[in-house]
Structure 1
Amino acid sequence: MSFLPISELTERARDIFQRVVEGYLETGQPVGSKTLAGDRDINLSPASIRSVLADLEQLGLLAAPHTSAGRMPTETGLRIFVDGMMRVAEPTPQERAQIEKRLSEPGPIEQALEQTSAILSDLSGAAGMVMVPTREHRLAQFSLVNLGQGRALAVLVSEDGAVENRVVEIDPMASPSMLEQVSNYITARLAGRTLSEASIAMRSEIAAGRSRLDKASADLVERGLAVWSEDAARRPVLIVRGQANLLDESAMGDIERVRSLLDDLENKQSVATLLESAREAESTRIFIGSENRLFSLSGSSVIASPYRDREGRVVGVLGVIGPTRLNYARVVPMVDLTARSLGKLFG
């Protein structure tokens, strides 16, 4: 998609265009010539301003929602502004501290992902989204704790500190030494491997008779592994928080658009596919309105960024979705900072 280069606009047209866009993004309302004429930095009469606004409208950069209204940017105008004119506002020290504090709270990685989505929603005033990592954790330790009455707690610890546990059924006659032997056996073969890698190795070793486990212990190993056999594809792919933020006062005048957006968000797989397209981006990507077919009806914008582990590998994607009048200058660096902060949690 090609757009009119900023350089082809006169300095006067660029100035007025920028003020209209910034005014609209701040208030959500069209900006009129009287408002612009009241700006002391614009040394033009209302008639001259109206002439420039008409030219910008003719170029497809601005539009008037109705005859007597001021102007607001079109999606094309927003794209030109975002790509060539936007002055990014770095997160405030308070916002930076809030992001880092909430993501430093102890707990499993799933909790951090939930927190990330909520943080993005709270700070942007839109809906926050986080893709659950598709890669498997590298595992560090496995243990079985006898709960009595033929049950044991299987505890799995990953290299990044995430802990998962499941209750499994065991032989009521299983001794503490058997549970310890099985725990040590699995732990020794988990080191640095994913669960699927470790499972293949252990099952192959047991089937070939190369393990020193007896039949009862081998069966216990199988039970311990089976509790994590659930297909990863059945887990939630996308965490979305803050949909209520989309129902603000200004949205009430365009309830059909908001309803369409909420319908889009219900179809998490489609939204996840959009976020996946930002997976290979070097930095934050911005999707504006009908540039993406998914949001052609709701006219919404998405700001998305991949988050990487400490070795620079892409783990997932997070972002914000809201109306096209999102405060891009503020939200873009906020999404970027959150992505970098979340990535630090992945080894």
Structure 2
Amino acid sequence: MSTPPIAELTDRAREIFRLVVEGYLDRGQPVGSKTLASDSTVNLSPASIRAVLSDLEAHGLLSAPHTSAGRMPTESGLRLFVDGMMRVSEPNAEERAAIEGRLSDSGPIEQALEQTSAILSDISGAAGMVLVPTREAKLAQFSLVNLGQGRVLAVLVSEDGSIENRVIELGGSLAPSVLEQASNYITARLAGRTLAEANAAIGAEIKSGKSQLDSASRNLVERGLAVLSEDAAQRPVLIVRGQANLLDDAAMQDIERVRSLIEDLESKQSVAELLESAREAEATRIFIGSENRLFALSGSSVIASPYRDREGRVVGVLGVIGPTRLNYARVIPMIDLTARSLGKLIG
């Protein structure tokens, strides 16, 4: 059954449909004809309302759960509402200040990403998600510090001020001159490149025999860059906060759906791939239920928006995941605001 466009619905049908969807999104419960009849904007008898509801159900826009005489929107109905009828509620000055304040006080970018996920969870009442920036920081300085007992500390300072350090187990001691040569070599030749670029460049130079490093220094350089690169590759790319919000009273009535949703979130790689699909979007993307195969069983919705650095380049995606009864009109502009606020912190 094809879903009719908004223009094919009568004014009366559109108004009844809007009230059902908004009532469902607000309370999480099906909306009945008696509730609609009590609305001052509806000048129809309960019998006439029931006839309209039946027509909307026949069009595939509403459904009637067997446990209730009321109606709730189908996924097709929600899509029609979100795309053509939703009245967006822009954040007010207080909400803007609260979001921007929480982010500006969050410290290093890693903490800002964590805070962003928590903010998204708070404003949506669902789970907040942040796909971390994929653009690697440029190197500024690399140092190797002797810790004694066959251990060396590799310290990487990036142009954005972030610091990475990892301990390398050597199994034997090295002369101070070896540490100095290796440190100076990387800082002098590879500054301004990403870690991946640094690895590629040094590997090519060593392979070609053009490197002036002796055997001990060369081994130390390779091990130092390798341990930092391996650690970066293993970090989770997706931060999720607020899963407990998914376990509300309404959700517990459909425990299988909740279980399926939690399992989806545990598979971070699949969710990350979904968010990646929103990276090139010009505006916020909305995935409702089975529109995406990942959530065909859990019947969940995802609202995702790319965020940019100060130069306007897309560096990641953030959003929320929750039941299809999310308050789209409120959450969508709040996500847009959060994306812009986070972008101001990323150089």
In the other structure, the counterpart of 2:272 is 272
After the TM superposition, which residues 1-347 of structure 1 pair with which residues of structure 2 at under 5 Å, given as runs?
3-66=3-66, 68-105=68-105, 107-169=107-169, 172-175=173-176, 179-206=179-206, 208=208, 210-211=210-211, 213-230=213-230, 233-347=233-347
Is contact 1:144-1:180 (8 Å) kept? Answer: yes
Structure 2 CA distance for aligned equivalents of residues 49 and 81 of structure 1: 19
Structure 2 CA distance for aligned equivalents of residues 142 and 105 of structure 1: 29
Is contact 2:195-2:229 (8 Å) kept? Answer: no
Cα offsets for 1:239-290 (capped at 9, x unmatched): 2211111100111211111111112222222222222221221111001111
Structure 2 CA distance for aligned equivalents of residues 40 and 106 of structure 1: 46
Aligned pair count reads 346
Report SS of the residue matched to 2:281. coil
Is contact 2:3-2:59 (8 Å) kept? Answer: no
Structure 2 unaligned residues grouped into runs of 5+: none
Structure 2 CA distance for aligned equivalents of residues 280 and 272 of structure 1: 14
For 1:174, give the aligned amino acid: A
Structure 1 CA distance for aligned equivalents of residues 104 and 184 of structure 2: 31
- Residue 95 of structure 1: CA displacement? 3.2
Structure 1 CA distance for aligned equivalents of residues 276 and 243 of structure 2: 20
How large is the RMSD of aligned CA atoms in angstroms?
2.4
Is contact 1:107-1:162 (8 Å) kept? Answer: no
Structure 1 CA distance for aligned equivalents of residues 224 and 280 of structure 2: 36
- Residue 66 of structure 1: CA displacement? 2.7
Structure 2 CA distance for aligned equivalents of residues 240 and 104 of structure 1: 20
- Residue 236 of structure 1: CA displacement? 1.4
Q: TM-score, normalised by structure 2?
A: 0.90
Identity of aligned residues (%): 80
- Residue 127 of structure 1: CA displacement? 0.8
Structure 2 CA distance for aligned equivalents of residues 234 and 318 of structure 1: 20
For 1:57, give the aligned amino acid: E
Q: 1:152 to 1:232 in 2, by over 3 A?
A: closer
Q: TM-score, normalised by structure 1?
A: 0.90
- Residue 106 of structure 1: CA displacement? 5.5
